[in-house]
């Protein structure tokens, strides 16, 4: 069976975010009762994409009782509750790679969309007083090698020369970069607005909001398949689960890395990858008034990097790692092509900790007190797509079925425009009204192009 064609693993590990929100009231909502026999809208997946899609449907006037959310695990049990906490738009770096595949005009729109997402997240959290430890700040892209500094400079210039707005990006080199970032090995650094959040709290806020208005959430209830409804004529779908069948007009697949399980036509285009993150209890150098105010991407190359945020709420450091890393064994790298997030990889954890200690020598891991240092490590499954972009829109040949998935380990910088976009499409609006880059649109033409094209990965 192809990797994408799998349901979420039934016994996942718990992330730092999940371990700190076990009292969420809807965690196990409706986990035993049968699903309703019909509903106008069935959202599959209760991560941030599914929860926000449901939220947007209600905001647009849909009756909450008409919406059912099916979730294979506990509420928001997928990547949304297992990530590295960054809400970090790409400010220019992906431009070169995106241009090669989608052309400069689309590449400009992709980057502009990410900037818009940060604004949307910020506005949403402020407007709804969503308690998710959101920290609006700036982020550093720290170039740890001269080669990567060169790559980054070329991307910056290409983006700027194509008309991209870089007025919000600051650049530092040599000693200034080292002083600004507190990274002695920094060759250069770029700084721009970004944020961090407690992603599980954000997903849970969205779910609480829709459930309190009448949306029915069924946890531990995977959709097993979707068939044309035989009884009631065309235009209706039967969504089958082990707890019954829901007949519906509209299905919205917010299943990210697992989208191909119900939509096999995506099998060659969405590949699940296991990603890992770590929480660290800081040593004294990173506590109290010394806690990091900015977030970081610490980059040795395009595909070898570490992400870092420090939570303002409790000082916990969250350290993420890139998918590839030339210092890791082949077995570890190959092991990432998996949907098994039940455990973490020791080699990745050990590399992450030693690299972190090397990058920030002040951290002083060797002198750590009992209780400081690695707190927890976990994994989650990200959805890599063949052209590094999400699939959003109606699925041709399956009228009434929509998808909003394929976030390439980068959903926090994309979902807050994609989910509102798919909600508009579900309600009959045209693509132009979503405001999304055209290259995000799900179409047979796009899939056809991808099967005949070698596409460089951006992430
Ligand atoms: C370790 C790690 C670090 C990351 N770090 C970052 C970061 O710092 N910044 C960032 O922007 N992004 C990051 N990401 C990616 C980010 O978490 C995702 O892009 C985002 O959460 C995707 O949201 P989603 O709602 O589409 O998917 P998910 O949160 O995965 O939700 C999909 C849901 O669908 C459910 N599901 C799947 N199939 C079925 C089915 N058949 N029936 C019912 N339910 C089903 C799943 O159980 C899951 O809950 C990271 C991811 C991981 C794993």
pLDDT reported for residue 368: 87
User: pLDDT category, 3, cuts 50, 70, 90?
Assistant: low
Q: What is the pLDDT of residues 424-449, one digit of tens each?
A: 999 999 999 999 999 999 999 999 98
Ligand 1 center–CA 79 separation, angstroms: 3
- Residue 140 CA to residue 150 CA, distance in Å, equals 16
What is the CB < 6 Å shell around ligand 1? 7-8, 44-50, 70-73, 76-80, 82-86, 222-223, 254-256, 258, 261-262, 275-277, 307, 320, 380, 382, 405, 407, 409-413, 415
- Residue 236 CA to residue 151 CA, distance in Å, equals 50
Question: What 3-state DSSP class applies to 50?
Answer: helix
pLDDT reported for residue 77: 98
Question: What 3-state DSSP class applies to 143?
Answer: strand
pLDDT reported for residue 145: 97
DSSP string, 353-365: HHHHHHH-GGG-G
pLDDT at 233 exceeding the cut of 90 = no
Give the position of tokens 């992400």: 307
Task: For residue 259, give the DSSP letter.
Answer: H
pLDDT at 454 exceeding the cut of 70 = no
Pairing state of beta strands 86-87 and 41-44? unpaired
Structural domains of the chain, ranges and CATH numbers in brackets:
136-193+273-382 (3.30.9.10)
Q: What is the pLDDT of residues 141-189, one digit of tens each?
A: 999 999 999 999 999 999 999 999 999 999 999 999 999 999 999 999 9
pLDDT at 113 exceeding the cut of 60 = yes
Give the position of tokens 């997240």: 121
Ligand 1 probe mutation, 48, 203, 206, 255, most atoms within 8 A of CB: 255
Ligand 1 probe mutation, 409, 413, 440, most atoms within 8 A of CB: 409
Q: Cα–Cα distances in Å, from 125 out to 50, 218, 266, 323?
A: 17, 25, 33, 30
């Amino acid at each position: 069976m192809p990797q994408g064609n799998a349901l979420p693993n039934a016994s996942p590990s718990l992330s730092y975010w999940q371990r700190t929100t076990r009292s969420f009231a809807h965690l196990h909502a409706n986990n035993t009762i049968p699903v309703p026999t019909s509903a106008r809208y069935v959202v599959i997946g209760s991560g941030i994409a599914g929860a926000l899609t449901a939220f947007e449907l209600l905001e647009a006037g849909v009756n909450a009782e008409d919406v059912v959310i099916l979730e294979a695990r506990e509420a928001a049990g997928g990547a949304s509750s297992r990530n590295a906490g960054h809400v970090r738009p790409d400010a220019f770096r992906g431009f070169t790679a995106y241009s090669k595949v989608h052309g400069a005009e689309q590449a400009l729109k992709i980057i502009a969309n990410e900037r818009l997402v940060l604004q949307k997240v910020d506005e949403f959290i402020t407007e709804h007083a969503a308690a998710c430890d959101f920290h609006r700040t700036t982020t550093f892209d720290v170039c740890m090698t001269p080669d990567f500094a060169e790559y980054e400079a070329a991307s910056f210039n290409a983006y700027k020369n194509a008309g991209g707005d870089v007025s919000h990006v600051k650049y530092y080199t040599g000693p200034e970069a080292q002083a600004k970032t507190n990274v002695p090995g920094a060759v250069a650094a770029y700084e721009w607005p970004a944020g961090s959040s407690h992603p599980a709290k954000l997903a849970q806020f969205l779910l609480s909001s829709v459930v309190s208005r009448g949306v029915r959430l069924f946890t531990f209830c995977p959709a097993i398949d979707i068939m044309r409804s035989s009884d009631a004529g065309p235009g209706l779908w039967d969504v089958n689960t082990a707890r019954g069948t829901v007949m519906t007009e509209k299905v919205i697949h917010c299943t990210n890395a697992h989208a191909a399980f119900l939509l096999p036509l995506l099998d060659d285009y969405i590949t699940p990858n296991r990603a890992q993150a770590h929480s660290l209890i800081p040593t004294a150098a990173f506590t109290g008034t010394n806690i990091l105010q900015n977030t970081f991407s610490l980059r040795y190359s395009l595909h070898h990097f570490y992400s870092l945020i420090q939570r303002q709420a409790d000082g916990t450091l969250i350290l993420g790692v890139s998918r590839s890393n030339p210092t890791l064994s082949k077995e570890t790298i190959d092991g990432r092509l998996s949907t098994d997030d039940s455990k973490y990889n020791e080699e990745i954890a050990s590399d992450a900790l030693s690299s972190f200690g090397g990058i920030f020598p002040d951290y002083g891991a060797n002198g750590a007190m009992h209780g400081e240092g690695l707190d927890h490590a976990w994994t989650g499954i990200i959805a890599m797509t063949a052209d590094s972009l999400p699939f959003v829109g109606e699925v041709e040949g399956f009228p009434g079925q929509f998808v909003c998935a394929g976030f390439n380990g980068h959903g926090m910088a994309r979902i807050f425009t994609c989910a509102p976009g798919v909600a508009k499409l579900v309600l009959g609006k045209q693509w132009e009204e979503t405001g999304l880059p055209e290259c995000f649109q799900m179409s047979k033409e796009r899939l056809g192009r991808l099967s005949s094209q070698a596409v460089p990965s951006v992430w």
